[in-house]
Structure 1
Amino acid sequence: MPSAAVRRSEADQLIETLHTVAADPALWESLVTALADAPADAPSETDMDGLEDAPVGPPAVGLLLLAADGAVVGWNAAGKSLLRGKLGADDAAGRPLFSPANHEALVEARRRLGETGAAQVIVRLVQAEDEDPRFAYVGPIEALPAMLRQGVEGREAPRAKVAVIFPAPENTDRLWMTVRASFGLTAAETRLAARLKAGRTLKEAADDLGVSLNTVRNQLRAVFDKMGLNRQSELVRALAQLSALSNSIQPEPAIVSASEAGALMAAPPVRIHRLPDGRALAYRVYGRPDGRPCMVFHQGLGSSLLPRGSDELARDLGLRIVCAERPGVGRSDLHPDLSLEAVAADLGDLTRALDMRRVRVAAMMYGAAFALSYAEDMAGEVEHVLLASARPTGAAPERPEDRRNPLVLLRRRMLRLRWVAGPMYAVFRRRLSHSLVERMVRAGASAPGDGAYLARHPGVVDFIQAYMGESLTRGSEGVARETVLLASSDGASWPRLRAPVSVWHGAEDTVTSVEEVLSWLGHAPHQVRVFDGVGHFLPHKHWPEIMGWMAA
């Protein structure tokens, strides 16, 4: 049995390691090793030219029609395929909808059309699968050429107010495949050419691609050499002549971009509810005041901040989404005796104060246990519960495959050594920065699908940093206490739970398998969906489908 002095020395060494790792996450393996030998008990002390028209025939295009509220009410085959495969998803009733970021961009495009009276606005849309963004024209339905109306489907198409037009997927994809194959461009050079054709400056292209300005300059010289060009403007003209929609481009169009970045700036304001004992419970409301009531439970080290565009999409889906920050997290006050039941009671008081009835509940990751306790406590008022990438309570044993992901191993050892959570989050709060979060997120994206998603959606790092920063607004104690609570709740159960529970999980999840979630749940689920090609990024990648589920 080690002496108290030896244990304090080991703890001091561990905390020193924490400080080092917070400054350089490349040293995570050192921390994992330190945790392996740490004492189980806490020590007592411790310049672009405009694109030219090209003489082409009628363009092969995708078409989507939007109603005044932003709902997709009509489409042609190419439009529907692109929307469902790359720009959005279907809700639970099978209706197509854009992802929140794209929905928000289209709301802004409609606003600009109304304010400027322009014939069309170019929108930059983010895609779920392709690495490059997709560009579309948005204009009033009255300006839609008759030839493009052919093949339109959708029973509600007559109420369309806005048309969204873009190159058919095979057309644009073939364009870049042809350019790359014809001139021998590398993948990086092709991505740069795509951004320059879209109107980006070299500096903007470098920022989009996450590389230095010198790197894109070198890539541009290589493109010039391979294509026999001399100037950037010539490259843009050459690409425009290959484009099926080049005859439709207007000079100096307005461009609206969709991105996960900037969620904090676009989010609804934080509200404060006073609980019976005087504590503050912080929350945000997304969507319509009279919309269908939904309660969202954020992930661990999370906040009431939802992905960008959620407010607009919730409004157009007819939802009223409430997301509260748990005790001690964000701007909510600490609870003197934190427990799953205490959190459920706080959220129940908020639900009654907001007069929410027949509530749908969605929980992300470590919010799952709190959501189940809330659903049990609220009895008949909870209509259905969705657990997305649920994390069971208790300290899970280490597995051989955990060694491939230092973040997973770090989390497992931190849950086993619960006293480490306090100093760990305190150091993390002091050192929180974009570069730190980016390196953490990249290290955590060990599943192939997660790594690919992160490469295509770099703005998600900004979103994660924003909600992590909010979670630590008042300090780190709340997050640490929640971590300890979840690690200590090994035998959590919900015998009085009556609401049906659906489980959505990523097939590549390296933290918890769907089988472990179902075993922990202890109830026969209403539905189990396992998503291929995604790990623990499921709540990010499939957030529009989660919102569609809430609206079903």
Structure 2
Amino acid sequence: MSPSVAPKADAAQLIETIYAVAARPERWEEIIAAVGAAPQAGPEADAALANLRGLEDDAPSGGKPDLGVILLSPAGGVVGWNSAGEAVFRDRLGVVESRGLRFFNPSNHEALAHARARLADSRASQVIVKFVQAEDDDPHFAYMAPLSATPAQMIIDIPGADRASAALIFPAVETTDHLWRTIRESFGLTPAETRLAARLKDGLTLKESAEDLNVSLNTVRNQLRAVFEKMGLNRQSELVRALAQLSALSSSLQSAAPATVAATEAGALASAPPVLTHRLPDGRALAYRAYGDSAGRACMMVHQGLGSSLLPRGTDQLARDLGLYIICAERPGTGRSDPRQEPSFAAIAEDLVGLTDALGLDRVRIAAFMNGAAFALAYANALGPRAGRLLLASARPTGAEPETEGDRSHPIILLRRRMARSAWAVGPLYALLRRRLSLRQVETMVRTAASAPSDGAYLRSHPDVTTYIYDYMSEALSRGSKGAARELVLCANTPRLDLPRLSASVSVWYGADDPGGSPERMLAWLGRPCAEVRVVQGVGHYLAHKHWPDILAWLAADEVG
């Protein structure tokens, strides 16, 4: 269905389309037409939402992800656990005792010992353990990781962490993500076998996988038999189930990835600083990363919508070289930050000011991207004279903007325009995105977003950027989709910002080929002059990716006047 051809104009049609895309993600562009025909908020929309089932966030809103954690001593004894860890273990495998884990199935003791030995002998930051459940032969999988490679937020409240050397981590829910590097290291899968497993997890049949991999059906059958043998499985359904169990942990464990820096954007996650947590006065956690030299010039990076604190590869070292101390916080309800019940620009700015004060930062330079622009302006307004220069790159004004004829050749822009008009649909759409998020799906969307020829050329020469985008989207949605959805609704419902204390000099950068914004529209929305307007040739809305070193150099440059 073409995005420009509208289906029947009612809310129920949009919900039906969401279900159809949930089953077949490759049809995602049908959402654009369905949102375009959907009504604005009203009784019909409320009735449609009331009938929506099965796309709610798996993780509860607020609180930590419900992952089961059991802490082990160097000798293998149990020194601590959380309630989810005890419950998931007792439900499936055995009993948690102070002297160790007592399995219902004795073969699991051998599996655990083998995993401990493999972890000690390898360079992997985690290994996967296959346990056999109590009542049948169905497998259950868990991660084992050294305590030093386990994210601090997982163990901070567990007594006994000071005596532990490793953590056993059990999935509590099924999500969509993967950690293929660990699967290969744990079970010895070849790259070809891993690629096949990834496609089967994404819902492809054996025949479709063979076509996608450009090999014969007989070849993938042989590869599947090898996967079964190595992972101790018997059926394809068991493989998909096992991969779903393992996937449930990947977002939470990503900060524990091996410290291997690849020479591409795909290495951003592995080389990123750890995620830190600031406790706000009301008890909520505000997650952030700190890049560069803590004695350097203070900067606040404000990520775009559906973004996290993950910045491009090399940011930490480049910031050190330039004498910068860059903080990037994850806004309420995204990434690892706890949500606010009723988010507002002023309230979110207050959170960022609290973090700024806690870190002892005085004058702060700010850079923001796309939908993060309005949040950066609100933060600069709250800081008042403490805010230094402010850069808005590829900025998107708040409020609903009318569709133009030119938008029809840019599907992602068209979708954003229509979502802003029918904001009630943002929640289920983001829940759908989170449920079906995979590298394959992100590749499709990123290619579609590169509707300007210069952006398409950039992605073809830098295909690893897609992996980076997938990683920060995975982080953004790791706790749920509600925070990101509420943020987009807030932007759609706020035509303008009141910025009486904004004193920072503002610079505006746009790619010359950006189909979603322009300096003229931004300046009209902002309603005040800017210190600098820069139009960069040969790029569209991937400006920040292509010119990341230039952005950091701008932050490091001396202020004029």
TM-score by length of 1: 0.60
Structure 2 partner of 1:326? 331
| SS of residue in 2 equivalent to 1:323 | strand
Structure 2 partner of 1:43? 46
Aligned match for 2:426, one of 418, 421, 430: 421
Partners of 1:391 and 1:512 within 8 A in 2: yes
1:459 aligns with 2:503: no
Deviation at 1:333, TM superposition (A): 0.7
TM-aligned CA distance change 1:397 to 1:9, over 3 Å: closer
Q: How much is the aligned-residue C-alpha RMSD, in angstroms?
A: 2.3
1:472 aligns with 2:477: yes
Q: Report 1:123-138 matches (<5 A).
A: none
Cα shift readout 1:220-266 (whole Å, capped 9, x = no counterpart): xxxxxxxxxxxxxxxxxxxxxxxxxxxxxxxxxxx996200021111
Q: Report 1:371-520 matches (<5 A).
A: 371-520=376-525
Deviation at 1:518, TM superposition (A): 1.2
Cα shift readout 1:364-415 (whole Å, capped 9, x = no counterpart): 1100000001101101111110000000000111010111122111111111
Cα shift readout 1:113-136 (whole Å, capped 9, x = no counterpart): xxxxxxxxxxxxxxxxxxxxxxxx
Q: Which has the larger radius of gyration?
A: 1
Partners of 1:493 and 1:521 within 8 A in 2: no
Partners of 1:393 and 1:486 within 8 A in 2: yes
Partners of 2:261 and 2:271 within 8 A in 1: no
Cα shift readout 1:72-130 (whole Å, capped 9, x = no counterpart): xxxxxxxxxxxxxxxxxxxxxxxxxxxxxxxxxxxxxxxxxxxxxxxxxxxxxxxxxxx
Cα shift readout 1:484-517 (whole Å, capped 9, x = no counterpart): 0000111223232111000011111111122111
Deviation at 1:24, TM superposition (A): 4.6
| SS of residue in 1 equivalent to 2:501 | coil
Identity of aligned residues (%): 57
Deviation at 1:39, TM superposition (A): 2.1
What is the alpha-carbon distance in structure 1 between the residues aligned to residue 16 and residue 544 of structure 2?
34
TM-aligned CA distance change 1:538 to 1:22, over 3 Å: farther
What is the alpha-carbon distance in structure 1 between the residues aligned to residue 470 and residue 349 of structure 2?
27
Q: Report 1:165-184 matches (<5 A).
A: none
Deviation at 1:9, TM superposition (A): 10
| SS of residue in 1 equivalent to 2:513 | coil
Aligned match for 2:298, one of 287, 293, 315: 293
| SS of residue in 2 equivalent to 1:503 | strand
Partners of 2:25 and 2:436 within 8 A in 1: no
Structure 1 partner of 2:151? none
Partners of 1:493 and 1:522 within 8 A in 2: no
Count of residues in Structure 1 that have an aligned counterpart in Structure 2: 345
Aligned match for 1:350, one of 355, 362, 368: 355
Look up the equivalent residue of 1:38 and give its one-letter code.
A
Structure 1 partner of 2:32? 32
TM-score by length of 2: 0.59
Partners of 1:23 and 1:431 within 8 A in 2: no
What is the alpha-carbon distance in structure 2 between the residues aligned to residue 495 and residue 511 of structure 1?
27
| SS of residue in 1 equivalent to 2:458 | helix
What is the alpha-carbon distance in structure 1 between the residues aligned to residue 369 and residue 23 of structure 2?
28
Structure 1 partner of 2:257? none
Look up the equivalent residue of 2:20 and give its one-letter code.
T
Task: Choose 16-25 or 395-404, whichever is displaced more.
Answer: 16-25
Deviation at 1:20, TM superposition (A): 2.7
Q: Report 1:47-86 matches (<5 A).
A: none
Look up the equivalent residue of 2:344 and give its one-letter code.
S
Look up the equivalent residue of 1:299 and give its one-letter code.
Q
Partners of 1:328 and 1:478 within 8 A in 2: yes
The unaligned stretches of length 5 or more in structure 1 are 1-7, 47-201, 215-254
Q: Report 1:222-233 matches (<5 A).
A: none
- Greater relative CO, 1 or 2 (CA 8 Å, sep 6+): 1
Partners of 2:261 and 2:268 within 8 A in 1: no
